[in-house]
Structure 1
Amino acid sequence: MLNKYPLWKNLLILVVMAIGAIYAMPNLYPDDYAVQITGTKTSIEVSTAQLEKAESALKKAGLSYRDAEFVNGQAMLRFDSGETQLAAKDAIQQALGSDYLVALNLAQTTPDWLRDIGAGPMKLGLDLRGGVHFLLEVDMEQAVNQRLEIAAAEIKRNLREERIRYRGIEIEKDRTLMVRFSSDEERAKGFSFVRRGYPEYEVREIESDGALYLRLRMTDAKVKEIADYAVKQNLTTLRNRVNELGVAEPLVQKQGQNRIVVELPGIQDTARAKRIIGKTANLQFRLEAKHDADFASSEEFSFRSEPSRTARIEREIIVTGESVANANQNFDENGQPQVNITLDSTGGKIMSDVTYSAIKRRMAVIFIEHKLDDLSGSREEGVAPKRSVERHIISLATIQSQLGSSFRITGLDSIQEASELALLLRAGALAAPIYFVEERTVGPSLGEQNIKAGVESVLIGFGLVLLFMIGYYKAFGIIANIALTFNLVLLLAFMSIMGATLTLPGIAGIVLTVGMAVDANVLIFERIKEELRNGLPVQSAIHAGFSRAFVAIFDANITTLIVAVILFAVGTGPVKGFAVTLSIGIMTSMFTAIMFTRFLINLVYGRRQLNKLLI
């Protein structure tokens, strides 16, 4: 028979359509509005006491919630509307204080059996689902100070290697280093060395209170270079961190001279995202001070795990987190969490040189975190945020042998802390601290309006196409409409499986796909009608219609697919969303318009002897 698929092809089509229907099904279950409560540190877990405080605050504010649950040491409360969710966030944050982070979230309602097979709804873009918008500010003053600290440590090492005796180096305001000498001869040697090796500093010989100094002031050009680098590096680091979080189509871009915008649509864990994005986690490797060390040459630090325990650490920095090439969470021989660190070639060489002469001494790993005391990022207009720096020892171990570029950091509180520290270091160190200037949620209500308008546009276009096909092609039009319906199902399924993000331009791509999918059927049906007019038998006309229309359909769709690929390659944000939807729609429409439509026509007409065809 001309119009009969082999059994394997029929089964393949049925399997594809069944899988498509199953994986498109989660889109029928909309997410719940939720508020997530988590500790500001990984060591702080949310207990029933905090949940009771939150419930009491909601009751006092006259707000009702649908359900509450604990997940991995965090609490989540579900609400019926976005307005209630927003009001609840403020009430709960005020009740729990700054030790807990209260963030907006969306909780899935997909049935467990669908989740078990990896099925989930499409991710919606910021314009449809809403999401979190962060405005971050890069601390340029700290960027310069950090570079001065590194330069001071490097100058100390180089002066010792050159056998130039100095009394000390101090960092002063106005991007200045003061190097103190005991004699004019040594200062002259130092002047010559610094002028030759550090052209980015303006060097002057000065005297103050009878002491001899070299004054190294960073040039304006170098300050601008550091500022540009800080923003550029922070942009890269934030993008890496967002990618590690698995956020779909995020926006991370520069705004003005020293601000960065981060938009996170459709994320599943906003609390963790805020903690990781906003955290300026960095490490410093320093030697423990000797017992007879000068008090001014060392600092006292407390241990992160035991705040009452302290140790004196040399001020001189060996390397920082900027030298970390890779970091992974693992476990030591006692089953305790640790972070394995690999330094880059420069950092590895410095570490090797320093530890060669420091065997049997102890080396500290110092964890540094810059943050705002107001974690929500909100503050009164014109009032500067309260900034603080926390510095703690997370490891103090004896150097048993000369070290290279590989380390392990132990003494961490939990697996989650080790995992987050590895993520932050692996994503790259921030070149300067960043602070939340603004946090806002792109409204669920606006997203709902956009979704409603988008769905209406798809339904109107889809409905008009259905009416036209039935009115013009009769029974064949009904078959085309069934194929068109399954085309939408497959499109939703593939977008859900691939984790593609649907935006308003993406909805435009769906509307375009509906039109393109029916174009293929129109070409096939018109070709069948032409073959019938030429006198071919019904079965031969059907076969010829599909065979001879294929080339035109294939060429038209391939050229459109090439354009979609180019749009995806060169476009950003909404353009990419449109290109993704269009590309998937082209492939699904090719399958449904040719194979699935042929399958249905074979099923209806393939085994019948026909003298006339209603088309």
Structure 2
Amino acid sequence: MKTKAGSRVIFTICVLLIAAFSYIGVYGLNVAGYRVQSFGEVLKRGLDLQGGVSVLQEIQSKKTPSRETLERTKELLSVRVNKLGVSETAVSIEGKNRIRVDIPGKYDSGSINEMLTKSGKLTFVGPDNKTILTGKDVKSAKAYTDDYGKYAVSLELNASGKKKFSDATKKFLGQTISIKMDNEDVTTPPTVESQITNGVAEISGSFTLQKAKELASIIQSGALPVTLKNVETKTVGPTIGEVGVPMSVRAGLVGISLVFLFMLIYYRIPGLLADLALTVFILLVFSAFNVLNVVLTLPGIAGLLLTIGMAVDANVLIFERTKEELRLGKSVRSSVEAGFHRALSSIVDSNVTTIIAGLVLYVMGSGSVKGFALTLVAGTLISMFTAITVTRTLLNLWLNMGIMNKPVYFGVKRG
């Protein structure tokens, strides 16, 4: 009786939480003057959904630039574009000597072209707003792991910068020195902890490996390492998004509603639980997109809808295996356990192959192809979790409640 009562309480809490988060996800919530934004408000939209400027830059060089040069140039362009406050900007390498910059929501192509093609200026600035060093004073900068296992950047200055930095670190001991690109901070200004006389310094902070590498590349290059020429500028209006988004949303709602109805009619109570698990899947996918700063595009929406179908497919496999066990005369609980066990290998195999295909598309593709691949991989991983974990937990709760103890609840009739 305690198990039944406890399972009822847990299941009720689960349903209430799913309902609450679903409401917040769709409509948002205002609490004590603070706004909890809906998914529609927080998810970033790509160029094809809200319009903007797409610029293709070509490196002017007789020799084919190295991959390292392309990556440095890409990082520096990202820093420049982010000054516009457009975090969903996509900067990608195309071919052997071209870089494309897509800037949603911005339409002044002239100023954007000017900003992207200028060489840039790296400076180290003291708290008195006077320049201490420039990019010409830097010999090298590398990302590494310090003695405490944290990521940092090692900075080495040449002869011209050594004396300047020694004097500056002595003067500004305990204060901060800013590192700026085109008068914009490229990282949180580091604090001077001691006078540096040998021209070798460490920049530490809450860096990830990627952030440490980006900062090292910006400092190392000092300015754009190559000359860029604009070869293509496209101003895209939001007309595609105005038509495509409502149609995609409508198609998604109709498709999801039909799937929910099919699962409920064909699998009855297990189908109802699968619908709850599918709701959790949708909430987790959108939450993951927000955390990962995924830029949603029309191909990305297509990838999302595809993963919803895959999430349902996993539940179908589980329930069909369970029905097979029930027809053999086994109890409901043992049939459910056997159904999950037998379906697991098929679920993992199908999802792993999809993930591999998605990773190949992400690595080899560019632009909208990457968006499709990212949503596909993220959705597939989450669908595996919800099918194997959430659906199973909900089924076990119903079994413990003593409600679903007959084969007829799974659509199986015994003579």
Q: TM-score scaled to structure 1, two decimals? A: 0.45
Distance 1:19-1:270 versus aligned 2 partners, 3 A rule: farther
Mapping 1:238-257, distance limit 5 Å: 238-244=73-79, 245=82, 246-251=87-92, 253=94
Distance 1:275-1:599 versus aligned 2 partners, 3 A rule: farther
Distance 1:126-1:440 versus aligned 2 partners, 3 A rule: same
Q: Distance in 2 between matches of 1:251 and 1:127?
A: 16
- Picking from 168, 173, 183, the partner of 1:418 is 183
The alignment status of 1:518 with 2:312, answered yes or no, reads yes
Equivalent pair of 1:125/1:265 in contact (CA under 8 Å): yes
Mapping 1:192-341, distance limit 5 Å: 226-228=61-63, 238-244=73-79, 245=82, 246-251=87-92, 253=94, 261-265=100-104, 276-281=115-120, 329-332=124-127, 334=128, 341=135
Equivalent pair of 1:127/1:447 in contact (CA under 8 Å): yes
Q: Distance in 1 between matches of 2:262 and 2:390?
A: 20
Q: Distance in 2 between matches of 1:112 and 1:263?
A: 32
What CA deviation, in whole Å up to 9, does each residue of 1:60-118 have, x standing for no partner?
A: xxxxxxxxxxxxxxxxxxxxxxxxxxxxxxxxxxxxxxxxxxxxxxxxxxx95448xx9
- Picking from 388, 403, 406, the partner of 1:594 is 388
Q: Distance in 2 between matches of 1:566 and 1:238?
A: 24
Q: Give how far 1:343 is off.
A: 2.5
Q: Give how far 1:519 is off.
A: 1.0
Q: Distance in 2 between matches of 1:471 and 1:262?
A: 49
Equivalent pair of 1:509/1:581 in contact (CA under 8 Å): yes
Q: Distance in 2 between matches of 1:467 and 1:540?
A: 27
Equivalent pair of 1:230/1:431 in contact (CA under 8 Å): no
Q: Distance in 1 between matches of 2:27 and 2:351?
A: 30
Count residues in correspondence. Answer: 345
The alignment status of 1:540 with 2:334, answered yes or no, reads yes
The alignment status of 1:344 with 2:344, answered yes or no, reads no
Q: Give how far 1:513 is off.
A: 0.8
Distance 1:23-1:351 versus aligned 2 partners, 3 A rule: farther
Distance 1:112-1:21 versus aligned 2 partners, 3 A rule: same
Q: Distance in 2 between matches of 1:279 and 1:250?
A: 17
Pick 1 or 2: higher relative contact order, CA cutoff 8 A, min separation 6: 2
What CA deviation, in whole Å up to 9, does each residue of 1:156-187 have, x standing for no partner?
A: xxxxxxxxxxxxxxxxxxxxxxxxxxxxxxxx
Letter in 2 for 1:280: S
**Higher Rg:** 1
Match of 1:473 in 2: 267
Equivalent pair of 1:539/1:606 in contact (CA under 8 Å): no
Q: Is the partner of 1:250 in helix, strand or coil?
A: strand
Distance 1:589-1:232 versus aligned 2 partners, 3 A rule: closer
Q: Distance in 2 between matches of 1:405 and 1:137?
A: 40
Q: Give how far 1:549 is off.
A: 2.1
Match of 2:369 in 1: 575
Equivalent pair of 2:310/2:383 in contact (CA under 8 Å): yes
Q: Distance in 1 between matches of 2:23 and 2:223?
A: 39
- Compute the RMSD of aligned alpha carbons: 5.0
Match of 1:127 in 2: 48
Q: Give how far 1:499 is off.
A: 0.9
What CA deviation, in whole Å up to 9, does each residue of 1:5-46 have, x standing for no partner?
A: x99xx79x959x779948983x767xxxxxxxxxxxxxxxxx
Q: Give how far 1:542 is off.
A: 2.3
Mapping 1:42-441, distance limit 5 Å: 113-114=35-36, 121-134=42-55, 226-228=61-63, 238-244=73-79, 245=82, 246-251=87-92, 253=94, 261-265=100-104, 276-281=115-120, 329-332=124-127, 334=128, 341=135, 342-344=137-139, 352=159, 418-419=183-184, 428-430=222-224, 440-441=234-235
Q: TM-score scaled to structure 2, two decimals? A: 0.64
Q: Is the partner of 1:450 in helix, strand or coil?
A: helix
Equivalent pair of 2:322/2:336 in contact (CA under 8 Å): yes
Q: Is the partner of 1:451 in helix, strand or coil?
A: helix
Letter in 1 for 2:183: A
Match of 1:614 in 2: 409
Kindly indicate which of the two structures has a greater share of residues assigned to helix: 2
Q: Give how far 1:129 is off.
A: 2.7
Q: Give how far 1:254 is off.
A: 7.2
Distance 1:522-1:236 versus aligned 2 partners, 3 A rule: closer
- Picking from 468, 475, 486, the partner of 2:280 is 486
Equivalent pair of 2:90/2:102 in contact (CA under 8 Å): no
Q: Is the partner of 1:572 in helix, strand or coil?
A: coil
Equivalent pair of 2:42/2:290 in contact (CA under 8 Å): yes
What is the percentage of aligned positions where both structures have the same residue?
35
Q: Give how far 1:581 is off.
A: 0.8
Distance 1:466-1:343 versus aligned 2 partners, 3 A rule: same
Q: Give how far 1:512 is off.
A: 1.5
Equivalent pair of 1:252/1:262 in contact (CA under 8 Å): no
| Structure 1 runs not aligned, ≥5 long | 30-110, 141-225, 283-326, 356-398
Distance 1:457-1:466 versus aligned 2 partners, 3 A rule: same
Q: Distance in 2 between matches of 1:428 and 1:601?
A: 59
Q: Is the partner of 1:602 in helix, strand or coil?
A: helix
Letter in 1 for 2:281: N
Q: Is the partner of 2:329 in helix, strand or coil?
A: coil
Q: Give how far 1:432 is off.
A: 6.3
Equivalent pair of 1:127/1:503 in contact (CA under 8 Å): yes
What CA deviation, in whole Å up to 9, does each residue of 1:316-366 have, x standing for no partner?
A: xxxxxxxxxxx564424x465655644337xxx9974xx7xxxxxxxxxxx
Q: Give how far 1:569 is off.
A: 2.2
Q: Is the partner of 2:184 in helix, strand or coil?
A: helix
Match of 1:70 in 2: none
Match of 2:321 in 1: 527
What CA deviation, in whole Å up to 9, does each residue of 1:373-392 have, x standing for no partner?
A: xxxxxxxxxxxxxxxxxxxx
Q: Give how far 1:457 is off.
A: 2.9
